[in-house]
Structure 1
Amino acid sequence: MTKSSYAKLLTIFLHIFMWGLLFLFFLWVVNFRHIFLNGSADDAQVSIHRIFGYSRILVTVGLFAAIFYLNYYFLIPRYLSNKKFKKYAGSIVSILLVVSGISYLNRPEPPEFMQNRTPPPARNLGDAPNFERFEPPKRLIFFSFGDLLLSVIALTISTSIRGTREWFENEKQLKDIENQKLTAELSYLKAQINPHFFFNTLNGIYALARKKSDHTPDVILKLSDLMRYIIYEANTAKVLLSREISHIENYIELQRIRLNEIVQVHFQVHGNAGFMQIEPLLFSVFLENAFKHGIDYSRPGKIDISLTIKEHQLIFMIANPILQNKKETQNPGSGLGLENIRQRLHLVYPDRHNLKIYQKDERHIVELHLNITTDEVYNN
């Protein structure tokens, strides 16, 4: 049995159970009333059966249920939800008029043996007068106020439940639309990253080919691995942090082959990645910028990269030299790629990230602090 089928059966059972409880409640009310008036449980059972009748209670409960479901499944979705307030109000008035008519037709009539019955004397209330003949009270109005009250209660409850349900459904739809929009924006931002990285690497391969370097086949193989990760694995909402670390290592190794010994690259990971998950390709822009703007082919350089993993926090740092010929043009925090990553962080880690980009001691430094949720830490 599917979950939806089980949920439907459970809902039907709960509805039957609640209407059964209401029927028993009415029986108890009538039973209590007659025990109080007649002083005998047996006599009360006879009174319920012969005076009011089980049919009276069944009709009342059935009418209550009919109004409930008519309002819940037909009137609210057709009129109230579509803001047709006049038609809805007219339908409610019509229902109450029908209830009044049914109440009049279903009014209780004392059986023949009750016409000549003398009520028992009241106890502890003084001597009650004796009546030779029991006369049922005359109705001053043609409907029962109790039936109308129950009808109003049924309408109120069904409207409240339906309104609450539609509110939650609307909220869910709005959330789904927001998630779809978020997914579309992230896909667009990721699509901007891939060509940017790809063309930068192709430029490096072109430079190696011009030099007829023996490392060219290795670089192409590394590039193939990187592109496989970007196209097939990173095309998801989250990836394992361990897999992202492997991607960073492959990228650094690719750059080392391309740059030979001109630039020293140090990458350190502190802590255990475990099953922690993060947004894919989150550090790619910082890596690309470090190698693009922090390398002087005329002299050695040094790029330091570190990733610190704590229980619910990630700290990524990367530092590269500020080149003398780029001091005036290299503005911290500028560029299309950095604006891209800021948008992604705002969408994926709202109020859970801190990005700092600054210059210190002739070095360009990027610090990214991420707060990781419990689901992202232990989701395996």
Structure 2
Amino acid sequence: MNLSVTKEQFTFYSRVGAAFLLLWLFGDLVSHPDTFYPRVWNNIWRWAYVLVLNFILFEYTLPFIRFTWKRILLGLFLLWVHLMLYSFGLYAWRLIGIALHIYTPLVTFADTDKAVESQMSYSAGSIFFFGAIRLLYGYTKLRQTAQQLRIEKQAAELNYLKSQTNPHFLFNTLNNIYSLARIKSDLAPESILRLSKILRYMLYETSGAYVAIEQELKIISDYIALEQLRYDESLRVNFNYDVEEMRQALPPLLLMPLVENAFKHGVSETRSQPFVDIHLSVNQRKLAFIVKNSTEAFPEERSINENIGLSNLRRQLELLYTDYNLSVQPGESVFTATLKINLASHV
């Protein structure tokens, strides 16, 4: 058995031991103020002994017993050894202190049994004190570890969702440019230029946890302009916003799936009078994002597209916020997606 002491263990037992010593000294000060100073040295002498014993008991003996059932007998023997050390051992430690003129015998015992019983009461108090705090400390540490694992798991899942969003976003954009290049449109160079801006944003801005709403609005505007290159003047796009503070934080590309969904599953499927209406408002940390688009699909068909296109966004919202609502209203001619978020409810 390697009786090494880690920095965490040293810190814990030093602090708990100091608290136990101070608590006992306070009791002596109240009960025996006339002999308080010699009792200080007596308590320090006993305290050093039980501190080492408690460390061995809680860090090695008890975990050893729980390790395997085959060690129960040996574990019971070790507990008996501890009992002897806490009683007769502490009494012997008292005699050593007296011989070294460190411990002052303030009480005379009628026999050895009475002396051992007196020392055992001190040991029992230390076991209860150390054990209770050790149990509370272990429980708190376990909860912190579980919380940290949950946070790391959610962060990994969120990064995975982002890694899905970015390629999906890029794939749709490249499809737009491909359609222009295929007909040798003069708008292809402009679309490539806008794509480069979008790629720059994705490479340098979306790696962080937040961006300013102002940046998110800019990338949405660039994407809308890129989409408009594919259509003639029959497409009507209305994008307006009312934001009280442009520097408010927002996860990057969080709103983009709703905009993409409007063009990919709405405008592209509309043969006459296609339109997209987008409105964003952020006031008093309350965000409302409403996207309406034309559609000719039946409601039951729209629900399939919705599940595919918006499931990623729904999961991101679950991981990021506690107060939000994402609702969709499919219809025969208009599809409406409404996202409301309390930005102050970020996890």
Same fold at TM > 0.5: yes
Q: State whether residues 23 and 58 of structure 1, in contact with CA within 8 Å, keep that contact through their aligned partners in structure 2.
A: no
**Structure 1 residues 11-50: aligned runs within 5 Å:** 18=19, 21=22, 24-25=25-26, 28=29, 31-32=32-33
Q: CA deviation at 1:364?
A: 0.6
1:234: which partner in 2? Answer: 206
Q: Aligned in 2, Cα 1:148/1:201: closer, same or farther, shift over 3 Å?
A: same
Q: State whether residues 299 and 330 of structure 2, in contact with CA within 8 Å, keep that contact through their aligned partners in structure 1.
A: no
Partners in 1 of 2:109 and 2:145 — Cα distance? Answer: 56
Partners in 2 of 1:167 and 1:236 — Cα distance? Answer: 33
The equivalent position to 2:310 in structure 1, one of 325, 338, 343, is 338
**Structure 1 residues 24-173: aligned runs within 5 Å:** 24-25=25-26, 28=29, 31-32=32-33, 56-76=42-62, 78-79=63-64, 82=67, 86=72, 90-105=77-92, 106=94, 138-139=110-111, 141=113, 143-173=115-145
**Structure 1 residues 292-331: aligned runs within 5 Å:** 292-295=264-267, 299-323=272-296, 326-327=297-298, 330-331=301-302
Q: Aligned in 2, Cα 1:288/1:88: closer, same or farther, shift over 3 Å?
A: same
Poorly superposed stretches of 4+, deviation over 6 Å:
7-13
Q: CA deviation at 1:314?
A: 0.9
Q: How many residues align?
A: 325
Q: CA deviation at 1:103?
A: 4.6
Q: CA deviation at 1:262?
A: 2.7
1:363: which partner in 2? Answer: 334
Question: Which deviates the most, 202-211 or 138-147?
Answer: 138-147
Q: Mind listing any 5+ residue stretches in structure 2 that lack a counterpart?
A: 1-7, 99-107
Q: Aligned in 2, Cα 1:60/1:366: closer, same or farther, shift over 3 Å?
A: same
Q: Aligned in 2, Cα 1:225/1:54: closer, same or farther, shift over 3 Å?
A: closer
Which has the larger helix fraction?
2
Partners in 2 of 1:144 and 1:321 — Cα distance? Answer: 90
Q: State whether residues 71 and 159 of structure 1, in contact with CA within 8 Å, keep that contact through their aligned partners in structure 2.
A: no
Partners in 2 of 1:261 and 1:170 — Cα distance? Answer: 62
In terms of Rg, which structure is larger? Answer: 1
Q: Mind listing any 5+ residue stretches in structure 1 that lack a counterpart?
A: 1-6, 33-40, 111-135
2:103: which partner in 1? Answer: none
Percent identity at matched positions?
26
Q: State whether residues 269 and 306 of structure 1, in contact with CA within 8 Å, keep that contact through their aligned partners in structure 2.
A: yes
Partners in 2 of 1:98 and 1:352 — Cα distance? Answer: 58
**SS of 1:304's equivalent?**
strand
2:3: which partner in 1? Answer: none
- What TM-score, normalized by structure 2, do the two folds share? 0.78
Q: State whether residues 65 and 75 of structure 2, in contact with CA within 8 Å, keep that contact through their aligned partners in structure 1.
A: yes
